[in-house]
Amino acid sequence: VEASIPEPQREAWTKNQFDGFKNKDEFEKEVVRHVETTLARSMFNCDDVAAYSATALAFRDRLIKDWNKTQQRQTFTDSKRIYYLSLEFLMGRALDNAMLNVKGKDIAKSALDELGFRIEDIIGQENDAALGNGGLGRLAACFLDSMASLNYPAWGYGLRYRYGIFKQEIIDGYQVEVPDYWLDFNPWEFPRHDVTVDIQFYGHVRKSQDANGKTVANWEGGETVTAVAYDMPIPGYDTPSTNNLRLWSSKAASGEFDFQKFNSGEYESSVADQQRAETISAVLYPNDNLDRGKELRLKQQYFWVAASLYDIVRRFKKSKRAWREFPDQVAIQLNDTHPTLAVVELQRILIDKEGLEWDEAWAIVTATFGYTNHTVLPEALEKWPVGLFQHLLPRHLQIIYDINLFFLQSVEKRFPDDRDMLSRVSIIEESQPKMVRMAYLAIVGSHKVNGVAELHSDLIQTTIFKDFVKIYGADKFTNVTNGITPRRWLHQANPRLSELIASKTGGYDYLKDLTTLNKLEQYVDDKAFRKEWAEIKYANKVRLAKYIKSTLDITVNPAALFDVQVKRIHEYKRQQLNIFGVIYRYLQIKEMSAEERKKQAPRVSIFGGKAAPGYWMAKQIIHLINNVGSVVNKDPDVGDLLKVIFLEDYNVSKAEIIIPASDLSEHISTAGTEASGTSNMKFVLNGGLIIGTCDGANIEITREIGQENIFLFGTLSEDVEDLRHNHTYGKHAVDSGLQKVFDAITSGKFGDANDFGALVSAVRDHGDYYLVSDDFQSYIDTQKMVDEEYKNQEEWVSKCIRSVARMGFFSSDRCINEYAEEIWNIEPLAV
């Protein structure tokens, strides 16, 4: 709809622009106005929640001004945009981030103080936007921050789940899931009730002839669900650029519900349609690194992808450019295979709706898409039964068959002697039932495929996608090592460290060019600097100790070594190796004399993370950790020497407290299984050391910071296959130290031994797929080295400072610039 104000009236608009607040007094005025009008409260009725809401609304007003200008400018300059399609955006809290990015936190702090509130309490009122599972969703959030901060014209597209990732409660040592209803009051979103798209499901395809005698496919019948857009402003750091995250919400098409049915008394069935439609965007699937193949998940994927593409195409068509210019205006990045249907949907739009020839359309499609792979775990690679496709998306299945046909024909031409090749690379797996291999479809439909760390990118090229490297050549495959935003993960989470760094590196510009951190290295021997550094770490540990006291009523000594493993619970991430190591330590302490105990370095082992609700083994691991904690923490022989903590409901805002307080963090996946990991980067950036395997980004972290500054152990990825083979076909004796741990568990020391039988026998009797026994001794030895080195605090602090100084590479800004240059071919828009 064209609804622009005619020229003569525009002056009245221009002179009445809302300019946001510029100082404390103006900000106070905004807060009071929002409390009294938007929220209909008063100074006699204003609690922390109301103060948070008003503060957030004041910042939102400010952001939306910048958002409008950014969007107008992007439209006016008609510049190429990048669209980041992700089923997950793990944003965390928005207020603190918004305040820091627009440099308004000092104003807000003093204003709130005058109005009678502490800014920390106000920030703490906000619910996390938890629309993601773990690393993949948080990566998308860091990317949005970097794209805005670097002034790239970029939109994120996702689903507006009514329920984000569940909240975790620990009851009697077991995980209990509680729904995360987070939308009660969300000041950060703008419903766009005028931006809707009708999405079709089911039905059938009818072929007909058009006026020129050309056969056209008509997708008819079935049902329609409406997608409604909700926009969230994404502010860049220290720039007016404010990008958009558009999340789609599902509702019944044609209004509320069927009044015919309602009037004739069929109340239930009249609301049933409405509920069925709303179910599509109701919940985030809580599986990390696992594909469960549920129909509703496929519906979510198509709903979100179809709405997003409709939106993107509608925007492109306004420019009246020729279709072949589409890839000059639009780059679309597929965050894993979840949005792969976008490839098929764009082809469908171009051939069925816009009347392009297949080849011309396909050239546009492949020039538009890039695909990022995040995992090699076979259970995480998406496959959908052909029958389900046929039922839900009949036209898309036909197009997939055609894509596959043309692809296989070209393969056959190039490799006429390799008959096996065709069945190996076919997008359709000839199994019972037949399956659509989404990763293959994503590769065939994209011009670039990237992994997320060097080892991982090498692995996908030599294992799961080997044939495709042969077919397309190595140039189609590349690596973009993951990164993290230093704004949230240093400046926001660790303000004192950020301030200290700024004082030595020439101000906060290091937040825009993280390689500036290298200036810190010259202060490694500066006594005063080291002292301040150590004091900040200690203060962060005190803060976490207080949090532990207040939530678990356990007292931990802030002078002890804080050893942290927080991430999703998964067998491949090997929290079981960690807790077995903790048990081993406990048994050793029990055997020590009083004299020996005095020499032992005190430790706090801190765990946190959610298990997918259906992942039984992961839940056993949580249970074991909690049971070990309840034995160890009250054992008078142990005292301060060992405490075992499981922090409930690990999420983004808790990570912001935990990560700055770590001395040592654990990134101990079986080599070759963790594609990258990103918390490893966050921990080192906050002045903690790592114990880890040669896996994912640990390898590049080692290269950057120096191998003398990281505790590496364990099997190398090239040896994993042979070891697994030996477990299955040769002799496999459990490591003797680990055997003692198993004996303790089976003796019932940590509660009913039967509860943990599966954890033990996975290693002892069932092939030890994750190589826990193989790596156990080297893990224990390395932990012993950690104990020794921690005693020399001077040396330890030096290692931390040097490591931070060398972490510049891991900014998500570097990462986004690589995507922009190598995959998206897009330039920042000058502001």
Per CB under 6 A, does 676 bind ligand TH1? yes
Per CB under 6 A, does 678 bind ligand TH1? yes
Residue 404 or 482: which CB sits closer to ligand TH1? 482
Task: State the minimum distance, in angstroms, from the CB of residue 295 to ligand TH1.
Answer: 17
Please give the structure tokens belonging to residue 124: 């703490």
Specify whether the CB–CB gap between 152 and 77 falls below 8 A. Answer: no
Residue 332 or 829: which CB sits closer to ligand TH1? 332
Count, residues near ligand TH1 per rule CB under 6 A: 20
Report the C-alpha gap between 480 and 457 in whole angstroms: 8
DSSP classification of residue 669? P
Residue 231 or 571: which CB sits closer to ligand TH1? 571
Per CB under 6 A, does 674 bind ligand TH1? yes
Task: State the minimum distance, in angstroms, from the CB of residue 688 to ligand TH1.
Answer: 18
Out of 485, 678, 693, 715, the active site residue is 678
Specify whether the CB–CB gap between 671 and 574 falls below 8 A. Answer: no
Binding mask 599-638 for ligand TH1 (x = CB under 6 A): ----------------------------------------
Encode burial over 38-75: b for 16+ CB neighbours within 10 A, e otherwise.
ebebeeeebeeebbbbbbbbbbbbbbbbbbeebbebbe
| Residue number with the smallest Cβ distance to ligand TH1 | 135
Please give the structure tokens belonging to residue 766: 């069932």
Report the C-alpha gap between 10 and 17 in whole angstroms: 11
Report the C-alpha gap between 68 and 72 in whole angstroms: 6
Q: Which stretch binds ligand TH1 (CB under 6 A): 374-382, 627-635, 646-654, 705-713?
A: 374-382
Catalytic residue status for 573: yes
Which residue in 93, 374, 395, 574 binds ligand TH1 (CB under 6 A)?
374
Report the C-alpha gap between 654 and 93 in whole angstroms: 11
Phi-psi region of 473 (alpha: psi -120 to 50; beta: other; left: phi over 0): left
Q: Omega of the bond prior to 433 within 30 degrees of 0, cis?
A: yes
Residue 501 or 621: which CB sits closer to ligand TH1? 621
Per CB under 6 A, does 146 bind ligand TH1? no
Out of 573, 574, 603, 643, the active site residue is 573
Catalytic residue status for 505: no
Per CB under 6 A, does 660 bind ligand TH1? no
Q: Which stretch binds ligand TH1 (CB under 6 A): 15-23, 131-139, 543-551, 652-660?
A: 131-139
Specify whether the CB–CB gap between 450 and 823 falls below 8 A. Answer: yes
Backbone phi and psi for residue 208, each to the nearest 5 degrees, phi listed first? -145, 175
Task: State the minimum distance, in angstroms, from the CB of residue 11 to ligand TH1.
Answer: 50
Catalytic residue status for 682: yes
Residues 148 to 177 in contact with ligand TH1, rule: CB under 6 A: none
Per CB under 6 A, does 375 bind ligand TH1? yes
Report the C-alpha gap between 510 and 210 in whole angstroms: 61
Closest CA to 165 of 620, 613, 574: 613
Backbone phi and psi for residue 83, each to the nearest 5 degrees, phi listed first? -110, 120
Please give the structure tokens belonging to residue 106: 């000092």
Alpha-carbon distances of 130 from 91, 100, 168, 335, 547, rounded to whole Å: 6, 20, 12, 17, 21
Task: State the minimum distance, in angstroms, from the CB of residue 675 to ligand TH1.
Answer: 4
Per CB under 6 A, does 442 bind ligand TH1? no
Out of 41, 338, 530, 568, the active site residue is 568
Task: State the minimum distance, in angstroms, from the CB of residue 379 to ligand TH1.
Answer: 10
Per CB under 6 A, does 135 bind ligand TH1? yes
* Sequence-distant (≥ 6) Cβ neighbours of residue 775 within 8 angstroms: 577, 668, 670, 693, 713, 714, 715
Specify whether the CB–CB gap between 801 and 811 falls below 8 A. Answer: no
Please give the structure tokens belonging to residue 125: 């009122």
Catalytic residue status for 568: yes
* Sequence-distant (≥ 6) Cβ neighbours of residue 144 within 8 angstroms: 84, 89, 91, 154, 156, 234, 243, 245
Per CB under 6 A, does 54 bind ligand TH1? no
Which residue in 55, 125, 127, 133 binds ligand TH1 (CB under 6 A)?
133
- Radius of gyration of the chain measured on its C-alpha atoms: 28
689-692 and 711-712 strand pairing? parallel
Residue 288 or 666: which CB sits closer to ligand TH1? 288
Q: Which stretch binds ligand TH1 (CB under 6 A): 133-141, 215-223, 420-428, 577-585?
A: 133-141
Task: State the minimum distance, in angstroms, from the CB of residue 166 to ligand TH1.
Answer: 15
Residue 178 burial class via C-beta count within 10 angstroms: exposed 0-12, middle 13-18, buried 19 and up: exposed
Task: State the minimum distance, in angstroms, from the CB of residue 262 to ligand TH1.
Answer: 39
Crossing angle (nearest 10°) for helices 105-115 and 48-77: 150
Q: Which stretch binds ligand TH1 (CB under 6 A): 183-191, 199-207, 429-437, 674-682?
A: 674-682
Which residue in 236, 581, 696, 737 binds ligand TH1 (CB under 6 A)?
696
Residue 641 or 668: which CB sits closer to ligand TH1? 668
Report the C-alpha gap between 817 and 146 in whole angstroms: 9
Which residue in 365, 380, 386, 701 binds ligand TH1 (CB under 6 A)?
380
Catalytic residue status for 619: no
Which residue in 50, 56, 99, 136 binds ligand TH1 (CB under 6 A)?
136
Specify whether the CB–CB gap between 259 and 345 falls below 8 A. Answer: no
Per CB under 6 A, does 811 bind ligand TH1? no
CB-CB neighbours of 78 under 10 Å: 11
Please give the structure tokens belonging to residue 791: 């005693």
Specify whether the CB–CB gap between 147 and 604 falls below 8 A. Answer: no
Task: State the minimum distance, in angstroms, from the CB of residue 4 to ligand TH1.
Answer: 42
Phi-psi region of 652 (alpha: psi -120 to 50; beta: other; left: phi over 0): alpha
Report the C-alpha gap between 287 and 175 in whole angstroms: 15
Residues 308 to 337 in contact with ligand TH1, rule: CB under 6 A: 336
Per CB under 6 A, does 575 bind ligand TH1? no
Task: State the minimum distance, in angstroms, from the CB of residue 657 to ligand TH1.
Answer: 21
Out of 396, 456, 541, 682, the active site residue is 682
Residue 149 or 335: which CB sits closer to ligand TH1? 335
Task: State the minimum distance, in angstroms, from the CB of residue 53 to ligand TH1.
Answer: 33
Per CB under 6 A, does 341 bind ligand TH1? no
Per CB under 6 A, does 131 bind ligand TH1? no
Per CB under 6 A, does 670 bind ligand TH1? no
Per CB under 6 A, does 452 bind ligand TH1? yes
Report the C-alpha gap between 801 and 687 in whole angstroms: 7
Specify whether the CB–CB gap between 732 and 772 falls below 8 A. Answer: no
Out of 162, 348, 374, 530, the active site residue is 374
Per CB under 6 A, does 689 bind ligand TH1? no
Q: Which stretch binds ligand TH1 (CB under 6 A): 135-143, 197-205, 507-515, 780-788?
A: 135-143
Catalytic residue status for 396: no
Lookup result for tokens 């101000």: 507
Which residue in 66, 128, 273, 288 binds ligand TH1 (CB under 6 A)?
288
Which residue in 459, 675, 705, 744 binds ligand TH1 (CB under 6 A)?
675
Task: State the minimum distance, in angstroms, from the CB of residue 15 to ligand TH1.
Answer: 48
Per CB under 6 A, does 139 bind ligand TH1? yes
Please give the structure tokens belonging to residue 587: 């048994």
Task: State the minimum distance, in angstroms, from the CB of residue 366 to ligand TH1.
Answer: 23
Q: Which stretch binds ligand TH1 (CB under 6 A): 43-51, 198-206, 555-563, 675-683?
A: 675-683
* Sequence-distant (≥ 6) Cβ neighbours of residue 425 within 8 angstroms: 407, 408, 411, 440, 467, 468, 471
Specify whether the CB–CB gap between 652 and 610 falls below 8 A. Answer: no
CB-CB neighbours of 118 under 10 Å: 13
Residues catalogued as catalytic = 374, 567-568, 573, 678, 682
- Interacting residues toward ligand TH1 by CB under 6 A: 133-136, 139, 287-289, 336, 374-375, 380, 452, 482, 674-678, 696
